Amino acid sequence: YGSAPSSCTKRVVIMLHEKEGAFKFVEIYLERSPISYAPISNDDDGYVLCESRVICRYIEEKYADKGIQKLILNHSIEAKGLFEQAVSVETANFDPHASLAAYEVLTKPAYTDTEALASCISELKAMLDVYEGILSKQAYLAGDEVTLADLFHVASGVRLQLAAIGAIETRPNVCRWFNSLTDRSSWKAIQTGMHHL
């Protein structure tokens, strides 16, 4: 269950496509959620989860042998540390600023809070400068294999690009990395619709 325009919902649908799983998308009904939050995963066995990143981790672990594998790095304590670090940075430092910038520009252009927009763009650009350095040495944020940490960036990053802020495109390594993510079949599948059985 989710809202089709929601970046959080798209994050889960990307994961479902990566795992090549069958799913049915249903527009959200908040009364179904125990915490009135979207998206919601309701497994065939009735197991209900909320929060997109939690749902993605659950899908990866439950269907570890399906589709793309090893989206959660855990083959060594160091790899797991780098993966968790990348997820934490996306959650705390990329998504809030990318989402707010896109919201200010795309959702309320006539009433944009220019101070809030300038602040979040400044924070976002600083974070992407760090990404640029990381991605100059490796293909993805946690190493040379794509992980959930990378895929978590796609939906908010695309909205950021639509807002024409230029934060991604002006950094060659970030741009290469992000293009490799949006070129994936999982993101392309969303462009044709959220429903998949």
The model's pLDDT over 111-149, given as tens digits with 9 standing for 90+, comes to 888 999 999 999 999 999 999 999 999 999 999 999 999
Residue partners of 99: CB distance under 8 A and separation at least 6: 7, 156, 159
Residue 23 has pLDDT above 70, yes or no: no
Residue 105 reports pLDDT greater than 80: yes
The percent of residues above 90 in pLDDT, for the chain, comes to 41
For residues 149 and 35, which has the higher predicted lDDT (pLDDT)? 149
Highest mean pLDDT among 7-16, 65-74, 100-109: 100-109
Task: Say yes or no to pLDDT of 32 above 60.
Answer: no
Q: Which DSSP state fits 64?
A: T
Q: Provide CB contacts within 8 A for 110, sequence distance 6+.
A: none
Q: Which of 182, 178, 153, 148 is nearest to 15 (CA)?
A: 148
Choose among 170, 174, 165, 168: nearest CA to 118.
165
Instruction: Report which of residues 6 and 167 the model is more confident about.
Output: 167
What pLDDT shows up at residue 197? 40
Average pLDDT value for the chain? 84
Beta bridge partners of 126: none
- Tokens linked to 194: 């959220």
How many CB atoms are located within 10 Å of the residue 166 CB? 12
Cα 24 versus chain centre, distance: 20
CB 156 within 8 A of CB 127: no
Per domain, the residue ranges of the chain are 7-68+186-191, 77-184
Residue 18: phi, psi to the nearest 5? -60, -35
Q: What is the pTM of this model?
A: 0.84
Find where tokens 């940490």 sit.
149
Distance, CA of 193 to CA of 157 (rounded, Å): 18
Structure tokens at 113: 């809070």
CA-based angle 162:167:172, to the nearest 5? 110
Q: What is the CATH number of domain 7-68+186-191?
A: 3.40.30.10
Do β-strands 40-42 and 48-50 pair in parallel, antiparallel, or remain unpaired? antiparallel
CA angle 26, 27, 30 (to 5 degrees): 110
Fold equal for 7-68+186-191 and 77-184: no
Task: Name the pLDDT band for 37 (thresholds 50, 70, 90).
Answer: low
Which one is the CATH code of 77-184: 3.90.1150.10, 1.20.1050.10, 2.40.50.140, 1.25.40.10? Answer: 1.20.1050.10
- At 166, the pLDDT band (50, 70, 90 cuts) reads confident
